Amino acid sequence: MDTFVSQTRKRYIDGTTDEQREPVWKKCKEEECNQGIVKEDAYLTEFSKSWQKIEAEGLDCDYALLFPKEEADCLYTQLEEEVVYLTGDKTKIQVFGKVYNVPRKQATCGDAGLTYTYSGVSLQASPWTPTLEYIRDAVTKATGQTFNFVLINRYKDGHDHMGEHRDDERELDPLCSIASVSLGAVRDFVFRHRESRGKQCRRQINPVKLELAHGSLLLMNSPTNTHWCHSLPARKRVLTPRINLTFRRILQDGKK
């Protein structure tokens, strides 16, 4: 009966447990899904048919709707309660020696002791929250891949954005896809080939543009992040927030 929801009985940040809080997503699932496992199996079968392949030279991605709207709504609400975003120096990055404010809010969660370093900031993983564990496990079920870390980005509206980059840090396991789950406002997402950027670009390769929907999962498979940069451009007409979770596998001291 309960298979859609997290089986964890951990405490939330404020010390309460699942039972005390009756998380919204748990109630939603009970109301909507009293067929239990049968319904989940049916859902997973439908889900497995919905993958779309996105391919270009050196780019290999898969896209699907992982969570139906009601469940995605519940997960979004739960994350708004659970996630504690970084403050102070951790909200700044260094690019070519210059310091910038990150134009969005960020948090990092993962297995104990993991650290992720990018653009001059070193971010230590906070413990998994129940909802993040639930989403991580749903991604693992859907992809067969396991993850030990998640970077959480919260865009308050279309002014918040993420500049072009490649997630090619040395500590990322090159064999593991980066799994990007989106909740909230639909936003454009753009891939540009490394060699087709800038005034003196060497080649003319068309960008690949996607819309990342509420409840969607985008898998960036190897070697996408070797050859292509991606960004979440500002979109002034977007007035509502979005949360993005990128699940990753970090190799600590060369170990998986």
Give the distance, in angstroms, between the CA of residue 70 and the centroid of all CA atoms in the same chain.
Answer: 19
Q: Establish if 167 lies at the interface with Fe ion (CB under 5 A).
A: yes
Least distance (Å) between residue 180 CB and ligand AKG: 5
Q: Establish if 244 lies at the interface with ligand AKG (CB under 6 A).
A: yes
* 64: amino acid identity, one letter: A
Rounded distance between C-alpha atoms, residue 130 and residue 215, angstroms: 17
Least distance (Å) between residue 155 CB and ligand AKG: 7
Q: Establish if 167 lies at the interface with ligand AKG (CB under 6 A).
A: yes
Least distance (Å) between residue 124 CB and ligand AKG: 17
Q: What is the token pair recorded at 125?
A: 């993983």
Rounded distance between C-alpha atoms, residue 86 and residue 69, angstroms: 28
- The residue written with tokens 């993420």 in the block is 162
User: If we measure between CA atoms, which residue out of 135, 111, 129 comes closest to residue 217?
Assistant: 135
Q: Which of 28, 147, 246, 249 forms a contact with ligand AKG (CB under 6 A)? A: 246
Q: Is 242 annotated as a binding residue?
A: yes
Before 223, cis peptide (omega within 30)?
Answer: yes
Q: Which of 5, 107, 125, 212 forms a contact with ligand AKG (CB under 6 A)? A: 212
**Residue ranges binding ligand AKG (CB under 6 A):** 151, 153, 162, 167, 180, 189, 212, 230, 232, 244, 246
Binding positions for substrate: 96-98, 116-118, 168
